[in-house]
Structure 1
Amino acid sequence: MSQEKSPIIAPVDERLPISKSWIFSLQHVMAMCAGAVAVPMMVGTAAGLDHSSIVFLISACVFMAGVGTLIQTLGLGNIAGAKIPVIEGTSFAAVAAMTSIASSQADPSIAMKMVFGAVIAGGIFCMLLAPIFEKLIRFFPKVVTGTVVLIIGVSLLPVGIKWITDNKVQAAEPKNLALALVVLAITLLLFKYLKGIWNSAAILLGIVIGTAVAGVFGMVDFTSVKEASWFSLNVPLKFGMPIFDPSAVLSLCLIMLVLMTESLGNMIAIHEMVDKEVTGKNIKRALLGDGISTTISGIFNSFPITPFAQNTGLVGLMGMKSRYVGIYAGLMLLVLGFIPKFAALVGAIPKPVLGGVGFAMFGMVSVGGIRTLSKVQYDGTKNGVIVAVSLGLAMIPLANPDFYNNFPSWVQTIFHSGITTGSLSAVLLNIFFNEIGKKKLSNNDEKVTQKN
């Protein structure tokens, strides 16, 4: 009797026992936690929320990171979800636009209602656009995606610098600068000497060690950790019914285009790493997953959900292709989202400590953009002009935050973010130089061919 051959299981669908994969899953959680809590801290501070409310936001964002990760790794049938080991979280790319919306209102409650209204609308916009976005891929070549990622990294670097001065534009305290530099030095040493999967945990370990050093010198206040409860629920619409302000909604919808472009790049990269074919359907399901997660996120007091770039790199570093690593990581994040003490503990980290690792954490985003741009052809093209002009326009609000103050409020909301400005410029200039020019060249070639 011939034995029946067992079906071949693709590496991405290989079921792994938790006893074997927990370390890989924990590594993903460790790699993304610092980034996951930074967004609610920045937006909450811009809105003028008290510390307990910011702790709640952090818990909500960790909870939604788990939900988004599970949607992408488990999938929602054949409708949405990439079913690859992708780790989702609150995106840095939307920070500038959301802080602009939040800081425009004196009442913190109204500010958060406007932010969440824009997030919900942005998620719906992403779902509507997902089916046709695959057809627009030709408008997002490497010169555009690389420029966008570079601009995101450069735009976030000032955030790390402001952390050293406690989110204020002022002279740095010598002790705060010293702490940030010590943390940066520790992180660099960890990057140099840690091996294997622990090397990618250098940023989180740098934060832990830096916080311990700060504690020795009395620079950490754990009062909020003691006061925080051990368990809480993420109540939907905690701040009230969302407000759908037109200019705020437009701003987030434009940002969602950027996020979808960034997400597309991460999704394609992970597909290639785990040997899963990149198809239009897979891309559509992935972007639908982001849209659904973002819509739910706005309802559950969180922000746009997209893949985390640092975790994309971690997939390649670990060589673990199974999406079950992502599933277990999503479950971990989901559980941590119910524990306010975890959120309070993260919120108690001194900002100069975050500033120290911020140079590496945000700088690596810029490096990702540079790496992509290094594959772009510049000789005989105008791609250099696209990058140069887009980067220059993106620097306007960074160099002068008050640059657009004399313009209508909707202009301020959109262009206050250098990321939005630079991204729009990259897309439009690519169409102008590469798409339109290519069509004209093709027509001329056809005429020459006909003549010959």
Structure 2
Amino acid sequence: MMTTDLDDIPTPAVHPVDEVLPAGQLTVLGLQHVLVMYAGAVAVPLIIGGALKLPKDQVALLINSDLLAAGIVTLIQSLGIWKFGIRLPVMMGVTFAAVGPMLAMGANPALGINGIFGAVIAAGVFGIFVAPFISRLLPMFPPVVTGVIISVIGLSLLRVAANWAGGGVGNPNFGAPLYLGVSLVVLASIVLITRFARGFLANVSVLAGLVIGFLIALALGQVSFAGISAAPWAAPIYPFMFGAPVFDAVAIATMCVVMIVVMIESMGMFLALGELTGRPITQEDLSRGLRVDGLGTLIGGIFNTFPHTSFSQNVGLVGVTGVRSRYVTVAGGTIMLVLALMPKLALLVASVPQFVLGGAGIVMFGMVAATGIRILHSVDFHGAKRHNLYVVAISIGMGLIPELSDKFFDRMPHVLSPLLHSGILLAAVTAVILNLVYNGWEEVGAGHAH
């Protein structure tokens, strides 16, 4: 009898996160993820290379190195190897949080770019070791805190979407009606596809919108293919192509602070992904995911690039498409590796104008904010818990200060800039402190499964 009962128990279905889709679908869905994060992925090498006045071939090397490291680290994060990798659909790329400190290091003749790489390598090792300690903060992130952080991630990213839609920061024709019109067409295309399409087409709504926008931009003569014909088909990348790294104590200490900022921001991304994929995040999950921030930064320093983090743009894409399989970002990571080693293809992808990305950005980043709002919907704001309104109101206000007023913290000590210029970190710190003030230590961790 017992055997029969056991035989009747259905085998548990594969969780959507672990579902392996057909190869063709994985490739297209992976490409969608790459297009969404590509502009952000190549921006930091362009900024650093330009500031250090590096020749064009070395800037190209920085970009290709960035793509290579991002591809490797994305595979580790999504697939999981030993104690590394959160095993969720995460795309990794170079973080903007380190740009300010790296520009300061690069301007110092005693350090230069090899001083940056030395600090990045040391910060990566530091990140691997501190990841389990950072993950222990999870009980301090109940829904009232995570809802705020995820909302602020989405709201702060909308500035990126607006800059894309206007044609990109520094574009002399920023805000031209043509740019705004194409962005609107991309946005409308995504809305119509998600409303009326079914199956696979609905899953690639963002990619379809980007293709439509690209074709319109191409027809209007707004796409530049400059440099593609001159670029080589293949280019090898190996460690320390700029020379031996330089290790400076002050630079390393600064980059380690940046690493903590990056990891706390990553916690917000991971909690948002857990919510979107229906897979609650445990402390051990967080440790594995945060270790990859450290490992990715270490790999970045060795392979001529910069600190790595999970890309929040792609969290929004998971929300828009509803595709939760981590093998999609495995495909995305593989595509990044191919682009890194084939500069001609990398330049072709880079030819997608930023204003084409704008309409998609509004949808994706708004989706992240909406996820945070949905979490806040489950929070009790009544009676004895009415103080939760203060937690939400003040934390969101603090988190949006750097986004709404660029120069607000300019007169504060330079050493505090990684903290004060990260709206996500400001919101997180404020929400955690206010939750302790209003709800007490014993309340911390109640319902942190989100």
TM-score category of the 2 structures, normalised to the smaller one: 0.7 to 0.9
Which of 294, 310, 315 is residue 309 of structure 1 equivalent to?
Answer: 315
User: Cα 1:424–1:125, aligned 2, differ >3 Å: closer, same or farther?
Assistant: farther
User: Cα 1:268–1:295, aligned 2, differ >3 Å: closer, same or farther?
Assistant: farther
Distance 2:56 2:364 in 1: 24
Residues 40-55 of structure 1: pairs in structure 2 closer than 5 A:
40-47=41-48, 49=50
Distance 1:201 1:418 in 2: 30
What is the match of residue 264 of structure 2? 257
What is the match of residue 393 of structure 2? 388
User: Cα 1:209–1:257, aligned 2, differ >3 Å: closer, same or farther?
Assistant: same
SS of aligned partner of 1:223: coil
Distance 1:166 1:371 in 2: 31
Distance 1:278 1:401 in 2: 33
What is the match of residue 448 of structure 1? none
Further displaced range: 235-244 or 410-419: 235-244
Q: TM-score w.r.t. structure 2 length?
A: 0.79
SS of aligned partner of 1:427: helix
What is the match of residue 296 of structure 1? 299
What is the match of residue 129 of structure 2? 128
Distance 1:36 1:350 in 2: 13
SS of aligned partner of 2:440: helix
- What is the RMSD of the two structures over their aligned residues, measured on CA atoms? 3.7
Distance 2:157 2:324 in 1: 29
What is the match of residue 73 of structure 2? 68
Residues 192-271 of structure 1: pairs in structure 2 closer than 5 A:
192-239=195-242, 241=245, 245=251, 246-267=253-274, 270=277
Identity %: 29
CA contact (8 A) 1:73 1:324 kept: yes
CA contact (8 A) 1:123 1:304 kept: no
What is the match of residue 169 of structure 2? 167
What is the match of residue 447 of structure 2? none
Cα shift readout 1:99-139 (whole Å, capped 9, x = no counterpart): 43355578599786676556545543432233334433210
Question: Is 1:433–2:435 an aligned residue pair?
Answer: no
Q: How many residue pairs get matched?
A: 420
Question: Is 1:80–2:95 an aligned residue pair?
Answer: no
Give the letter aligned to residue 374 of structure 1: H
Give 1:342 shift. 2.5
Distance 2:36 2:374 in 1: 21
Cα shift readout 1:263-290 (whole Å, capped 9, x = no counterpart): 25535765x55xxx96654543343344
Give 1:432 shift. 2.3
Distance 2:28 2:345 in 1: 17
CA contact (8 A) 2:91 2:329 kept: no
What is the match of residue 400 of structure 1? 405
Residues 238-387 of structure 1: pairs in structure 2 closer than 5 A:
238-239=241-242, 241=245, 245=251, 246-267=253-274, 270=277, 272-273=278-279, 280-300=283-303, 301-306=305-310, 308-310=314-316, 312-313=318-319, 317-318=322-323, 327=330, 330-379=333-382, 380-381=384-385, 382-387=387-392
User: Cα 1:9–1:89, aligned 2, differ >3 Å: closer, same or farther?
Assistant: same
CA contact (8 A) 1:247 1:413 kept: no
Give 1:141 shift. 1.4
What is the match of residue 445 of structure 1? none
CA contact (8 A) 1:231 1:340 kept: yes
Give the letter aligned to residue 371 of structure 1: R
Give the letter aligned to residue 100 of structure 2: S
Structure 2: which 5+ runs fail to align?
A: 1-6, 445-450
Give the letter aligned to residue 206 of structure 1: G
CA contact (8 A) 1:56 1:340 kept: no
Cα shift readout 1:232-276 (whole Å, capped 9, x = no counterpart): 233334455366624444133223122134325535765x55xxx
CA contact (8 A) 1:126 1:260 kept: no
Distance 1:15 1:175 in 2: 42
Give 1:75 shift. 3.3
